[in-house]
């Protein structure tokens, strides 16, 4: 209920303070949201949110261009008399990159998440997201589709996207990772498909990736070093290398310079299901 109440309050605030959204979706759907109380179930909020989001995403290009221009002009004017919110500043930045894009307006319906080095988050199936800036490693489960609907020059399939989304409310869980040793951390999302180990190794240091029961893939994101596995002869690894690691293989790594490595493999829960 905590997340539901907080999300509902934020959604109402958006509809009350962003008149351009109301102009696109119409007052009746907006009133439907504003009249929902914390005692109403999440399904009622989901239904209303689905209706508003679908109308916004389905609006004509001309309509989006017009209301986006109004919104940007309003925010520039209001910035002269008050400090804009973090989300409003984000909207201005997005509009510079993707002018007249519906994704600029729909940013108000998304969480704005900033990750610090070493942090991770996971996204379940049918959860929309947009990567904005910075460097990250992304690991994806096997999928039969990637559906786009904004902030992209690529093909957009609005109808499919709006019909498949979960409209789940809340903030994503930030994963800090589980330390395996001073230099290696394991990130365990709550599904079987994969897990990720990260390694940040200073120059002229050594560490171990413990053996895991499944096969995995190792990515060298930065630096160079030597990797020892089942053979006493070490293999030189350098930035950009991608290596297949068989199951039950312990890796010993020594760095020649600062080294960043990532290993992706089958989630441990697949081999050790809870009783």
Looking at the annotation, which residues are catalytic? Answer: 148
- Alpha-carbon span 124 to 126, nearest angstrom: 6
Q: What DSSP string runs through 179-246?
A: EEETTEEEE--SSSS-EEEEEEE-TT-EEEE---SS-EEEEEEE-EEEEESSSSS-EEEETT-EEEE-
CA distance 94 to 64: 14
User: Helix or strand or coil: residue 21?
Assistant: helix
List the beta bridge partners of residue 21: none
Give the Cα separation of 9 and 146 in Å (integer): 31
> Distance (Å, rounded) from C-alpha 265 to C-alpha 218?
9
Nearest-angstrom CA–CA distance, 243 and 253: 13
Rounded distance between C-alpha atoms, residue 75 and residue 225, angstroms: 50
What separation in angstroms does the CA of 212 have from each of 75, 86, 194, 204, 233? 52, 42, 12, 25, 21
CB 131 within 8 A of CB 103: no
In angstroms, how far is the first alpha carbon of the chain from the final one?
28
């Amino acid at each position: 209920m905590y997340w539901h109440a907080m999300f509902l309050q934020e959604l109402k605030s958006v509809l009350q303070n962003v008149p351009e959204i109301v102009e696109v979706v119409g007052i009746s759907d907006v009133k439907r949201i504003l009249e929902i109380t914390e005692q109403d179930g999440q399904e009622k909020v989901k239904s209303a949110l689905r209706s508003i989001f679908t109308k916004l995403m389905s609006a004509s290009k001309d309509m989006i261009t017009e209301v986006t221009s109004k919104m940007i002009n309003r925010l520039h004017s209001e910035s002269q008399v008050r400090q804009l919110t973090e989300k409003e500043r984000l909207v201005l930045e997005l509009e510079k990159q993707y002018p007249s894009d519906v994704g600029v307006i729909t940013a108000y319906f998304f969480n704005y998440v900033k990750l610090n080095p070493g942090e991770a988050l996971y996204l379940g199936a049918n959860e929309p997201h947009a990567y904005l800036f910075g460097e990250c490693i992304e690991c994806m489960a096997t999928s039969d589709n990637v559906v786009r609907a904004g902030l992209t020059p690529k093909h957009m399939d609005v109808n499919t996207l709006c019909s498949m989304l979960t409209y789940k409310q809340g903030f994503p869980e930030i994963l800090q990772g589980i330390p395996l040793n001073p230099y290696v951390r394991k990130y365990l999302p709550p599904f079987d498909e994969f897990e990720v180990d990260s390694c940040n190794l200073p120059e002229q240091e050594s560490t171990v990736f413990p053996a895991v029961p499944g096969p995995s893939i190792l990515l060298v994101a930065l630096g160079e070093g030597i990797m020892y596995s089942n053979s006493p002869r070490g293999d030189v690894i350098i930035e950009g290398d991608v290596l297949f690691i068989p199951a039950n293989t312990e890796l010993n790594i020594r760095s020649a310079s600062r080294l960043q490595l990532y290993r992706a493999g089958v989630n441990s829960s697949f081999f050790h299901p809870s009783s």
